[in-house]
């Protein structure tokens, strides 16, 4: 009988139920997979995964390394937080860079300011092949985007690292199938059933530290296609665009070239929870430039090996 079935779920609040489910999934990965890795970028969802892994496996070490696919265009505050958090936990961190793939010629971009977000797929597949990972644990959630809503918790990838939404395995009664042949792998999403609000409520409850970008701060931005684009060397203003200094925060952090903040005065997790309750736009819809066109659709990228 699985761990969830033995709980008295009537006595659990919704965060406790989600936490129990996620811990069960993490332990299933450790039990069923020979060589898993946990994707850790320093973002809020992967910070939640780390706390869940602590609850699943401490006082022992994690039964998998941490893996980050670095675009080379990440916010420096997030990279600094990633390294500090990993050192605090005493866990092994593997970093593989899109820039290394570019040097090998496996990734080719049209220009220095082009988004490297989609290019992470290549570097991730190269890391999976290099280390022989049969499972990669990620923080994707179904509420983020409609293609991610099609994912199973254990999402199968073929020998080419590709995802076929029509060829996924059934998941009945919390039974997960992690069986793969050599070269195949699964992506595992323990917080798939969580929402952005759940994540922030859990961060507040657990008092989790996060990169400072998630909280309101003053930043130079420009307005472009309905988004607030941060002014950086990677995202400079175009001719005719006006630089403004606004109070903003990031709902999600990723490649600088495609990640935008939102206007906000929320400086605490409780204030962010209050903002999240009333928002009617998903975090990716409000903050990701490369999700604004069908050409860069999430489903196409996922079919090619994206997270």
How does the average pLDDT of the chain come out, rounded? 87
pLDDT for 8 beyond 80: no
CB 271: neighbour CB atoms within 10 A?
Answer: 17
Task: Give the pLDDT mean for 88-112.
Answer: 91
- In this prediction, residues 127-133 reach a mean pLDDT of 94
Average pLDDT of span 196-219 = 97
Rounded average pLDDT over 24-46: 95
Q: What is the pLDDT, as a whole number, of residue 177?
A: 80
Flag whether pLDDT at 303 surpasses 60.
no
Lowest average pLDDT, out of 80-94, 172-186, 210-224, 245-259, goes to 172-186
Average pLDDT over residues 220-234: 93
pLDDT attached to residue 300: 60
Decide if pLDDT at 96 tops 90. yes
Give the pLDDT confidence score for residue 294 in this predicted structure. Answer: 42
Q: What is the dihedral of CA 26, 22, 75, 61, to 10 degrees?
A: -40
Q: Is the pLDDT of residue 242 over 50?
A: yes
Read off φ and ψ for residue 56, nearest 5 degrees: -80, -30
What is the pLDDT, as a whole number, of residue 258? 86
For the record, the structure tokens of 129 come out as 């092949």
**Which is more confident, 58 or 116?**
58
pLDDT digits (tens, 9 = 90+) for 259-290: 999 999 999 999 999 999 988 777 766 566 65
Which range scores top for mean pLDDT: 8-12, 183-187, 221-225?
221-225
What is the value of pTM for the model shown? 0.87
Rounded average pLDDT over 220-242: 92
Q: What would the mean pLDDT of 117-132 be, rounded to a whole number?
A: 90
> Taking the chain, what is the end-to-end CA distance rounded to the nearest angstrom?
31
Q: What is the pLDDT of residues 150-162, one digit of tens each?
A: 788 888 887 776 7
Task: Return the pLDDT at 249.
Answer: 96
pLDDT band at 76 (very low <50, low <70, confident <90, very high): very high
pLDDT of 295 reads: 41
What phi, psi does 228 have (nearest 5°)?
Answer: -95, 110
Q: Which residues pair with 227 in a beta bridge?
A: 224
Query: Of all residues in the chain, what percent carry a pLDDT higher than 90?
Result: 61
Tell me the DSSP string of 155-205: EEE-TTS---TTSPPP--TT-------TT-EEEE-TTTT--HHHHHHHHHH
- Give residue 88's pLDDT: 96
Arithmetic mean of pLDDT, 77-103: 95
Does the pLDDT of residue 172 top 50, yes or no?
A: yes
Percent of the chain with pLDDT over 70: 87
Is the dihedral angle over the CA atoms 299, 21, 182, 168 positive or is it negative?
negative
């Amino acid at each position: 009988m699985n761990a969830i079935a033995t709980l008295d779920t009537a006595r659990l609040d919704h965060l406790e139920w989600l936490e129990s489910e996620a811990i069960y999934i993490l332990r299933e990965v450790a039990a069923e997979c020979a060589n898993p890795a946990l994707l850790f970028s320093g973002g809020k969802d992967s910070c939640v995964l780390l706390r869940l892994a602590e609850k699943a496996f401490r006082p022992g070490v994690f039964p998998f390394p941490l893996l980050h696919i670095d675009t080379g265009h990440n916010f420096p505050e997030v990279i600094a937080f990633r390294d500090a958090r990993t050192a605090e936990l005493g866990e092994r961190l593997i970093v593989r860079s899109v820039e290394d793939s570019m040097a090998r010629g496996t990734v080719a971009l049209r220009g220095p300011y082009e988004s490297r977000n989609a290019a992470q797929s290549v570097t991730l597949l190269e890391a999976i092949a290099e280390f022989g990972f049969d499972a990669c644990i990620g923080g994707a959630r179904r509420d983020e985007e409609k293609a991610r809503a099609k994912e199973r918790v254990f999402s199968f990838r073929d020998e080419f690292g590709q995802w076929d939404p029509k060829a996924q395995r059934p998941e009945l009664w919390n039974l997960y199938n992690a069986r793969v042949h050599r070269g195949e792998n699964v992506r595992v999403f323990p917080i798939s059933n969580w929402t952005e609000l759940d994540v922030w409520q859990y961060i507040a409850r657990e008092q989790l530290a996060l990169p400072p970008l998630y909280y309101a701060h003053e930043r130079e931005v420009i307005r472009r296609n309905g988004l607030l684009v941060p002014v950086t060397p990677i995202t400079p203003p175009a001719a005719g665009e006006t630089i403004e200094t606004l109070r903003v925060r990031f709902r999600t952090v990723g490649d600088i070239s495609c990640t935008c903040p939102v206007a906000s005065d929320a400086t605490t997790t409780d204030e962010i929870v209050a903002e999240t309750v009333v928002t009617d736009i998903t975090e990716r819809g409000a903050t990701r430039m490369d999700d604004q066109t069908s050409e860069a659709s999430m489903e196409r990228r996922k079919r090619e090996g994206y997270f």
